[in-house]
A and B are shown apart, each in its own frame.
Chain A
């Protein structure tokens, strides 16, 4: 008699558990980052918590399940928070694509860890670029110097912060 009464009670409980699994969003799905440079593959499909990218439209932070987007990058810091540590890379330019499958791909032309930069060299090159922009030269040279100036200004701002 006990056994007969026990059976019907267990069956509905199992069904409820199955329904609970179906409605809960998978909490272990973290944002996957692929950060590639032509000379080095920094992150290859690694799970991270958050990444901040210097988009042309403004600094933006990307978390898991972000809306898919394609952003052009301006010179600035890419901050990667893996949960246990934060890594900072300075990139010159590139593109970031956030895909619908919860992954983000950053392709940058040049990029290095922020610690690798020498503040004195940055200051010297910044002064050179300022002189080149103000000085004589063809339109193309001035435009190139203006781009250099943008990069160095962003770099010195990142180093100070």
Chain B
């Protein structure tokens, strides 16, 4: 079958041919294989991280929602007086917007939604430097600093890592009142928790002492003189508290949904990358087989 004389030449050719091929064709194929392997590894890590973030957000959500329901009842009961007295906003008064966001990201469109809403509201007021803006949370602050720097009066951060307490809200309200920011009415912009998969920016109107005194049915109430001012300040703290807790719950649910989507996308990527890897690996093997077989058939 094989002539003795041809064997050494064929052996040399067989040795040379696959070596030449290793260098040119399957070398790049091996390189792409390694590249795909690297990408697979990193996407798998990302999927692990996003999955664990989703788990953490799910467990935090239950607690945050419970706190939110209590805080909402608390905030609404505080509003009873304003509703019964039929307090209304004074025309042409100085407005102060308090935007409640937070410092952490990876939560979908929470912060940019608030920023857009605040920008639109301030523009609707006339867009001049008269309208004051207080921002709670670094994310919205960074966005609003670029567009509404002349309205910015105060900023707060380090809020939102745990469920907000009344102490946090009281500190914010206290700082606003003690500062020399002038206002006739405060509009609190926060994310309203519509459901576990949706939220929307909303406004909470807080009336100050003057608006309460001018309210039509307020005269029905008996009270000491300085109680009105104290009550208005208390109402501000309560409103900020309710907005903080609800915003916190919205943020956690948005983060859970965002991480859920990210995990799904990562899973899809892993699937398609795995397919690519397998195809590439099979192509390399097939090429090597072809080399061997053609080399062998040339013998």
Which A residues are closer than 8 A to B by beta carbons? 34, 36-41, 44, 56-57, 67-72, 94-95, 97-101, 103, 105, 107, 109-110
* Residues of B with C-beta under 8 A to A34: 77, 80
In the complex, which of the residues A38, A95, A103 contacts B70, with contact meaning CB atoms closer than 8 Å? A38
- The answer to whether B81 touches A97 (Cβ under 8 A) is yes
- Taking a contact as CB atoms under 8 Å apart, the answer to whether A39 and B70 are in contact is yes
Q: Which of A103, A107, A110 contacts B78 (CB 8 A)?
A: A107
Q: Which of chain B's residues have a CB closer than 8 A to the CB of A56?
A: 224
Known: A57-B224, A70-B223, A72-B227. 9 other contacts (CB 8 A): A38-B71, A41-B74, A68-B221, A94-B234, A97-B80, A99-B84, A100-B84, A107-B77, A109-B170
Interchain CB contact under 8 A, A70 and B73: no
Interface 1/0s, chain B 155-171, versus A by CB < 8 A? Answer: 00000000001100010
In the complex the two chains form, is A105's CB within 8 Å of B220's CB? no
The answer to whether B74 touches A72 (Cβ under 8 A) is no
CB distance from A45 to the nearest CB of B (A): 9
**Contact partner of A107 among B74, B224, B230, CB < 8 A?**
B74
Closest 3 CB pairs of A and B: A38-B166, A69-B222, A70-B223
CB distance from A19 to the nearest CB of B (A): 29
Q: B81, A99: Cβ atoms under 8 Å? A: yes
**Contacts A70-B81, A105-B80 given; does A97 touch B221 at CB 8 Å:** yes
Of all chain B residues, the one with the shortest Cβ separation from A107 is B78
List B contacts of A103 (CB < 8 A): 80
Binding site for A on B (CB under 8 A): 67, 70-71, 73-74, 77-78, 80-81, 84, 165-166, 170, 217, 220-224, 227-228, 230-231, 234, 238, 241
Mostly helix, strand, loop or mixed at chain B's interface? helix
Chain A residue contacts of B234, Cβ below 8 A: 94-95, 107
Contact A38–B77 (Cβ < 8 Å): no
Q: Would B67 and A69 count as touching, CB distance under 8 A? A: no
| Residue numbers in A under 8 Å from B81 (CB-CB) | 70, 97, 99, 105
Given A70-B81, A99-B80 in contact, is the A38-B227 Cβ separation under 8 Å? no
Given A100-B84, A107-B78, answer yes or no on A36-B227 (Cβ-Cβ < 8 Å). no
In the complex, what residues of B have CB within 8 A of residue A70's CB?
A: 81, 221-223, 227-228, 231
Complex Cα spacing A38 to B220, Å: 27
Whether B74 contacts A37 by the Cβ 8 Å rule is: yes
Q: How far does the Cβ of B24 sit from chain A's closest Cβ, in whole Å?
A: 72
CB distance from B221 to the nearest CB of A (A): 5
Q: Chain B residues near A97 (CB, 8 Å)?
A: 80-81, 221
Minimum Cβ distance to chain B for residue A17 (Å): 34
CB-defined A-B contacts under 8 Å, sample of 7: A37-B74, A41-B73, A69-B222, A70-B81, A70-B221, A103-B80, A110-B166
Knowing A70-B231, A105-B81, A107-B77, the reply to whether A40 touches B223 (Cβ < 8 A) is no
The residues of A that contact B223 with a CB separation of less than 8 Å are 69-71
Q: How far is the CA of A71 from the CA of B78 in the complex (A)?
A: 13
The closest CB in chain A to the CB of B81 belongs to A97
Closest-CB distance, A73 to chain B (whole angstroms) = 10
CA distance A98 to B222 in the complex (A): 9
How many angstroms from the CA of A40 to the CA of B170 in the assembled complex?
A: 17
* Minimum Cβ distance to chain B for residue A85 (Å): 22
List of A residues within 8 angstroms of B70 by Cβ: 36-41
